[in-house]
A = this chain, B = another copy of it.
Amino acid sequence: MHVPRQFIETNATILHDLIKAHPLGTWITSYNDNIEINHIPFLLEVDGNGLATLKGHINRTNPLLKSLNALANSVVVFQGAESYISPSWYASKPIDQKVVPTWNYAVVHAHGEAQLHSEKEWLLSHLNSLTDSQENRRTQPWRVSDAPDDYIARMLRGIVGIEIPIEKLEGTWKTSQNKSNDDKLGVIRGLDLDHDRDSNEMSSYVREHANDN
């Protein structure tokens, strides 16, 4: 990932929060330059020492399981909000018209070596945690234990657990940090009026940097 220095985000809490908010990862592996891409939700677990691990699962029939060398070379991309930024939003536009469009986005790349798990206990514990991470915000959360035991046992036999201890975590927050404060306020105003699917979230990213200059 090629990113000008001002767009690099290194704060681990901010990177972890994006993964939690956008857990559907684009899991990329490559072996002999054969690129494999799978889309699966990951749960991020951070231990007391700050070591972060991604946990997920795939179907036992996934051909990726035949390519164990590929698993060693894994990158998972988590994509946060992204929005087109119109030059007409910049406060500086009327001055000399020296403005061009850009695209703002926030992404996290997590690099590591994927390990497999077939132990029933690991899988059940993982499914409980992943489910609870999504259901806990609901008024009546569904629990894995709501389903019949033999039904869940059959499900467990059909999947393989994935554990990726994160060796390198990269964050790109391309959120108008290279602009003046007045231009940032113009971007926030433009995004707020836009009501794109992501514009509110992107507006909040830009707002966080609005006093940097």
Contact = CB atoms under 8 A, between A and B. Distances in A.
A170 to B, nearest CB: 9
Contacts of A103: 24, 40-41
A51 interface: no
A35 B103 CA distance: 23
A45 B100 CA distance: 22
The dominant DSSP class at the A interface is mixed
A38 interface: yes
Nearest to A130: B101
A35 to B, nearest CB: 5
A59 interface: yes
Q: What range describes how many residues of A lie at the interface?
A: 35 or more
Interface string A120-164: 000000000011001100101010101110011001000000000
B105 A147 contact: no
Contact of A98 (B63, B75, B88, B151): B151
Interface in A104-119: 105, 107, 109
B37 A109 contact: yes
Copies of this chain, tallied across the complex:
2
Nearest to A63: B2
Contacts of A155: 100
A167 B195 CA distance: 35
A84 B35 CA distance: 26
A201 interface: yes
A92 interface: no
Contact of A86 (B62, B99, B134, B198): B134
A183 interface: no
A77 interface: yes
A52 interface: no
A17 B59 CA distance: 29
Nearest to A101: B131
Contacts of A98: 147-148, 151
Interface in A52-74: 58-59, 61-64, 73
List 3 tightest A-B contacts by C-beta distance, closest first. Answer: A30-B30, A2-B62, A88-B142
